Amino acid sequence: MFDIERLKANAAGATDLLKILSNPIRLKTLCSLAEGEMNVGELVQRTGAKQSCLSQHLSRLRDGGVVTTRRDGHLVFYSLSDPAMGQLVGVLREIYCPLEVTTKGLPRAA
């Protein structure tokens, strides 16, 4: 059964998270990080964003508690802060990036 009181208590937090996610570069970044930890250079390649632009978006994701960082020498590695974020990205992928089934019944990227 749906718990309306829990929704009332958590609606502001959910709204804040959805605001953070409401950008194509940030969504592409999270989809990439759902596959594992990556550094900025790898994320630039995956998202197609310029490094300066991506750094601003990564800062927003970090400030929002969506990603965490780890430094290794001069490189900074990013990862999802919570397994639940990976689940959320997985649901978005299922809706917006579904696998297409070929005539032989094998999944194929759409």
- Residue 92 covered by a domain: no
- DSSP-derived 3-state class of residue 14: helix
- Residue 90 covered by a domain: no
User: CATH number, domain at 69?
Assistant: 1.10.10.10
33, 21 contact by CB (below 8 A): no
Above 70 in pLDDT, residue 10?
yes
What is the pLDDT averaged over residues 3-20? 89
Domain membership of residue 48 as a residue range: 4-82
Question: What's the domain count of the chain?
Answer: 1
- Residue 42 covered by a domain: yes
- Residue 70 covered by a domain: yes
Give the pLDDT score at 54: 98
Dihedral sign (CA 18, 92, 89, 42): negative
Give the pLDDT score at 27: 94
pLDDT above 90: percentage of residues in the chain:
70
- Residue 14 covered by a domain: yes
42, 58 contact by CB (below 8 A): no
Give the pLDDT score at 100: 62
- Residue 103 covered by a domain: no
What is the per-residue pLDDT across 69-86, written as a single tens digit (0 to 9) for each? 999 999 999 999 999 999
Strand partners, 38: 78
- Residue 93 covered by a domain: no
Above 60 in pLDDT, residue 102?
no
At 6, the pLDDT band (50, 70, 90 cuts) reads confident
- Residue 39 covered by a domain: yes
